[in-house]
């Protein structure tokens, strides 16, 4: 039941994507669909085309930051993880679509296959081919070229062209879609939904209506590479749970006009603050911002909060700047002065004392909150932190829920280690920004 709750959106997306196949199934007898090798290949080409276009349309919805995605996917970050999976699958299905049809034409003649692929006067087919070539180019950029995030986002917007051209191909080429009004209406609905999501996010900027305006009040230097940005609302303030994240966009020209995700560092009863580490071009520029500039905040998003956990016995493990959401939760506990029965052991791994961020504050919070214990782990001295190291210090560890945040390799390794010593994967939560 918990699996369905955490993956309700993913299950729903697959149901919506498979409905066209169900409609297709009942349109004609299967002995006609799969009566010969040629018919089978044609049917497989139709099925992969339908499923590929359905998934592509739905994938635009997953990337649009709609609020319902945060609820249905147990966190927007999880919706983005599923977005990557569905995007890759839609690409594969759309690639198989012409492949099966090409092989089918080979059963007729080599010339028929050549004419199918290199058609010069059949515009519906040409539009489909252009859409697929653009899709292939974008996938090569995504998986094989080391683009900067801002440039990657700009190229990714051309996926809208894939949906546009693919949609025209789907509805103009003679097929089961053009011959069945139910299937046609359903696929049009999915395509329009995907197109609306694309326009909503990338063209019209409608999303800005959901942003909150804040003024940067202070840039507090924590160590050589980490700062805490403190904001005050200009009008309405954002309502969030400790541990959630927001998208930050400074209202200044240039690269800072892009929005990027950052975990909230403040407790829910304080003004908004974000912890930022200079890791790339964007974060380096954020790091250098001066008090007084105005920022737009979109959110909150995410389900990574101790308040949403089933168990009050919790183990938190942070690596590097992954300390930020835990800092928010620890501050929340400290302000309320009431752990509410929570028993929390927080392990923070950093390279050394100079790389540690907010360590002293967390030590002080631990000192006057009996239910909250904080441990610093320096890898230069003690090596990489491990699940075995944590388990040997905590007697009832298997009864706890685990929260992980840090570099992707750090979280993946620890998740595998905790599962190996007996943890249910569903009791391990991680904050992964796969945007």
Q: What local confidence, expressed as pLDDT, does residue 6 receive?
A: 61
- The beta-carbon contacts of 383-390 under 8 Å, at least 24 apart in sequence, are 384/349, 385/317, 385/319, 385/347, 385/349, 385/414, 386/414, 386/417, 387/414, 387/417, 387/418, 387/420, 387/421, 388/417, 388/421, 390/315, 390/317, 390/345, 390/347
Residue pair 258/319 in contact (Cβ under 8 Å)? The answer is no
Rg (the chain; Cα; Å)? 25
Please provide residue 392's backbone torsions phi and psi, each rounded to the nearest 5 degrees.
Answer: -70, -15
Write out the chain in H/E/C secondary structure. CHHHHHCHHHHHHHHHHHHHHHHHHCCCCHHHHCCCHHHHHHHHHHHHHHHHHHHHHHHHHHCCCCHHHHHHCCCHHHHHHHHHHHHHHHHHHHHHHHHHHHHHHHCCCHHHHHHHHCCCCCHHHHHHHHHHHHHHHHHHHHHHCCCCHHHHHHHHCCHHHHHHHHHHHHHHCCCHHHHCHHHHHHHHHHHHHHHHHHHHHHHCCHHHHHEEEEEEEEEEECCCCEEEEEEEECCCCCCCCCCCEEEEEECCCCHHHCCEEEEECCCCCCCCEEEEECCCHHHHHHHCCCCCCEEEEEEEECCCCHHHCCCCEEEEEEEHHHHHHHHHHHHHHHHHCCCCCCEEEEEEEECCCCCCCCHHHHHHHHHCCCCEEEEEEEHHHHCCCCHHHHHCCCCCHHHCEEEEECCHHHHHHHHHHHHHCCCCHHHEEECCCCC
Average pLDDT of each block of 10 consecutive residues along the chain (435 residues)? 63 95 88 82 94 95 87 85 91 94 88 82 88 88 66 73 91 85 94 91 63 90 87 90 90 70 84 82 74 90 88 91 92 74 90 86 89 90 88 76 91 91 86 63
What integer pLDDT is reported at residue 326 of this predicted model? 94
Is residue 170 within 8 Å of 49, Cβ to Cβ?
Answer: yes
Structure confidence by residue, pLDDT tens digits, 371-403: 899 999 898 888 889 988 888 877 667 778 999
Q: What is the pLDDT of residue 1?
A: 44
Report residue 233: phi and psi, to 5°.
Answer: -70, 140
pTM of the model: 0.81
Residue 190, phi then psi, degrees to nearest 5: -65, -45
* Contact call for residues 76 and 70 (beta carbons, < 8 A): yes
pLDDT value for 270: 66
Give residues with Cβ within 8 angstroms of 293, minimum separation 6: 215, 216, 250, 251, 252
């Amino acid at each position: 039941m918990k699996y369905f709750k955490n993956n309700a959106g993913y299950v729903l997306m697959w149901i919506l994507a498979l409905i066209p196949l169900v409609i297709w199934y009942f349109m004609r007898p299967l002995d006609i669909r799969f009566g010969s090798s040629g018919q089978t290949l044609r049917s497989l080409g139709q099925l992969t085309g339908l499923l590929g276009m359905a998934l592509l349309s739905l994938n635009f919805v997953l990337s649009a930051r709609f609020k319902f995605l945060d609820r249905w996917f147990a966190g927007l970050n999880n919706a983005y993880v599923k977005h990557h999976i569905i995007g890759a699958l839609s690409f594969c299905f759309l690639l198989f679509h012409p492949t099966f049809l090409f092989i089918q034409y080979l059963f007729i003649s080599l010339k028929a296959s050549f004419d199918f692929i290199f058609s010069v006067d059949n515009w519906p087919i040409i539009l489909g081919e252009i859409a697929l070539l653009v899709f292939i180019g974008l996938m090569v950029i995504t998986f094989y070229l080391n683009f900067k995030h801002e440039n990657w986002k700009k190229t990714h917007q051309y996926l809208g062209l894939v949906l546009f051209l693919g949609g025209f191909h789907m509805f103009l080429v003679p097929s089961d879609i053009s011959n069945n009004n139910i299937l046609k209406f359903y696929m049009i609905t999915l395509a329009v939904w995907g197109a609306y999501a694309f326009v909503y996010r990338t063209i019209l900027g409608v999303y800005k209506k959901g942003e909150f305006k804040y003024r940067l009040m202070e840039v507090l230097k924590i160590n050589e590479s980490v700062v805490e940005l403190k904001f005050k609302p200009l009008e309405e303030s954002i309502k969030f749970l400790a541990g959630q994240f927001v998208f930050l966009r400074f209202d200044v020209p240039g690269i800072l006009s892009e929005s990027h995700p950052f975990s909230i560092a403040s407790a829910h009863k304080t003004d908004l603050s974000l912890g930022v580490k200079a890791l790339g071009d964007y974060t380096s520029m954020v790091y250098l911002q001066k008090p007084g500039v105005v920022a737009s905040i979109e959110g909150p998003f995410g389900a990574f909060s101790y308040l949403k956990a089933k168990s009050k016995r919790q183990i938190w493990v942070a690596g590097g700047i992954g300390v930020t959401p835990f800092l928010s939760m620890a501050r929340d506990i400290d302000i309320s002065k009431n752990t509410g029965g929570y028993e929390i052991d927080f392990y923070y791994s950093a390279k050394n004392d100079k790389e540690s961020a907010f360590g002293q504050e967390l030590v002080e919070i631990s000192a006057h909150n009996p239910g909250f214990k904080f441990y610093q782990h320096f890898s230069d001295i003690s090596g990489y932190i491990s699940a075995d190291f944590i388990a040997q210090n905590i007697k009832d560890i298997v009864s706890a829920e685990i929260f992980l945040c840090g570099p992707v390799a750090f979280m993946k390794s620890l998740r595998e280690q905790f599962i190996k010593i007996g943890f249910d994967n569903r009791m391990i939560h991680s904050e992964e920004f796969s945007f």
